[in-house]
């Protein structure tokens, strides 16, 4: 898999901002990642794209959710997200 396609987009929510503020080890960043991505692929992608080493990577598979609109039941697709702890003193800026 190509390094450019491992990280899909930053995943910024209130919960991820709280994670970042409460972390004592370093900045915590959350990304949506490709469904076949592994921890080593994610670490390599962070280093190549942002020139920052990741200390720790945790991966979570978010399952799909059923939604209902009137009498129609549909599915919101699931995704894979990675919680990445960076080295102390290093940050990633999102524009």
The string of pLDDT tens digits covering residues 26-53 is: 889 999 999 999 999 999 999 999 999 9
Phi, psi of 40 (to 5 degrees): -70, -35
pTM listed for this prediction? 0.86
Helix (H), strand (E) counts: the chain: 2, 6
**Average pLDDT score over residue span 55-77:** 95
Share of the chain above pLDDT 70, in %: 99
Statement: residue 95 has pLDDT above 90: no
SS3 10: strand
Architecture category of domain 3-86 in CATH: 2-Layer Sandwich (3.30)
User: DSSP letters along 73-90, please?
Assistant: EEEEPPEEEEEEEEPTT-
Q: Which helix (H) or strand (E) holds 50?
A: helix 39-50
The torsion defined by the Cα of 23, 25, 30 and 35, in degrees rounded to 10, comes to -130
Confidence of residue 23 (pLDDT cuts 50, 70, 90): confident
The domains of the chain are located at 3-86
């Amino acid at each position: 898999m190509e390094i450019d396609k491992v990280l899909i987009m930053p995943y910024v929510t209130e919960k991820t901002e709280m994670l970042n503020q409460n972390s004592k080890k370093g900045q915590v960043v959350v990304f949506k990642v490709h469904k076949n991505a592994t921890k080593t692929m994610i670490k390599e992608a962070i280093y190549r794209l942002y020139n920052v080493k990741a200390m720790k990577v945790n991966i979570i598979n978010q399952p799909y959710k059923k939604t209902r609109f009137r009498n129609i039941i549909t599915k919101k697709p699931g995704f894979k997200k990675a919680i990445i702890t960076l080295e102390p003193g290093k940050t990633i800026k999102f524009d």
